[in-house]
Amino acid sequence: MRLAKFLFGALALCMLAKGVLADEYPVKPVTIVVPYPAGGVVDIVGRLIADKLRASLGKRVIVENRPGAGGTIGAAAVARATPDGYTLLLAGAATHVFAPLLYRTVPYDPVQQFAPITQLTAGPLVLVVNSGLPLQNMKEFLAYLKANGDRVNYASNGKGTFPHLAVELLKQAAGLNPTHVLYNGGPPAILALVSGDVAFSVNHIPNVLAQVKAGKIRPLATTGLARSSAFPDLPTFDESGFKGFETNAWFGLFAPPGTPQPIVERIWTDSAAALKAKDLRDRLATQGDEPVGSSPMVFAAYLQGEISKWTKVVREAGITPE
């Protein structure tokens, strides 16, 4: 009986402490860990949202770059952090979907060791072909691939990247068999496309914009369900006959597990409000990102869906972990 009273009292005190903590939050600076180098697309998203949160929370919001091992070093650090709302992670599919599928060991569980807060952005990819090919739309592109089979090469940014797995998804959906040529990142992959070493790539919008504007590569379709603000006149894969086809490079905010729910919801609501600001939306649009701002529950469900979808793609493609 005494033990039960003690445990009940301890639980009540814990809940009270969490309530006080949530009511007072934040009382000190908040750190957003970006597990990639400064200056990249993810870092830009982190600094944009940090500026907005700084104003709404009334405290400093620091962006801390902790790159390495495909983002898993920074993600692991946040998974082990104190669950008080002062250490957050800005990450995406690379750390929470692809790493567990492509690496034999990952120092965290992407579902159990994180509390999803909100999906910040969705960045559709774009199918681009060498401008020397007489291909003007998806119908002509598919006919070309079916006629030439594995003689058609495509460029990706590396094994297990979105540009690689997006084509694997397309191959499985359409029964195609182009040959994969890996490059070390987006710029060399697109340079190979410009030079004609490969026929096509499904790549991130920031990687292709300059060469599209220069007329050296031709865009045919984007991979989001809605048209991209960067290519409003370009059809989606869904519009081009691949119903339900969707591939978005997304980024979201996560907290360590056990972070008080009122704090999680405070960060979500402030982030969602920030994503409605015109200056932030315009800046995201320049790199092909669309604002989202989903709730923690919706984001958690989205993450589970992404894990299920890409697990199936990786297994059917026979891609083995390293």
Q: Is residue 36 part of a domain?
A: yes
In one letter, which amino acid is 53? L
* Average pLDDT rounded to a whole number, residues 63-82: 96
Q: Rounded to the nearest 10 degrees, what angle do helices 205-213 and 186-195 cross at? A: 30
| Helix ranges (DSSP H) in 198-277 | 205-213, 261-274
Which one of 222, 241, 258 terminates a domain?
Answer: 222
Q: Are 157 and 205 in a shared domain?
A: yes
Q: Is residue 235 part of a domain?
A: no
For residue 142, give the CATH number of its domain: 3.40.190.10
Give the residue among 94, 124, 203, 193 at the shortest CA–CA distance from 157: 203
**pLDDT at position 101:** 94
How would residue 21 be classed by pLDDT, with cut points 50, 70 and 90? low
| Count of domains forming the chain | 2
What is the domain extent for residue 205?
124-222
Q: What is the pLDDT of residues 176-194, one digit of tens each?
A: 999 999 999 999 999 999 9
How would residue 22 be classed by pLDDT, with cut points 50, 70 and 90? low
86, 30 Cβ separation under 8 angstroms: yes
Q: What is the pLDDT of residues 281-299, one digit of tens each?
A: 999 998 899 999 999 999 9
Q: Is residue 304 part of a domain?
A: yes
Which stretches of 138-214 are assigned E, i.e. beta strand? 153-156, 179-182, 200-204
pTM of the model: 0.90
Residue 2 pLDDT > 70: no
For residue 265, give the CATH number of its domain: 3.40.190.150
79, 115 Cβ separation under 8 angstroms: no
Q: What is the pLDDT of residues 104-113, one digit of tens each?
A: 999 999 999 9
Residue 20 pLDDT > 80: no
Residue 7 pLDDT > 80: no
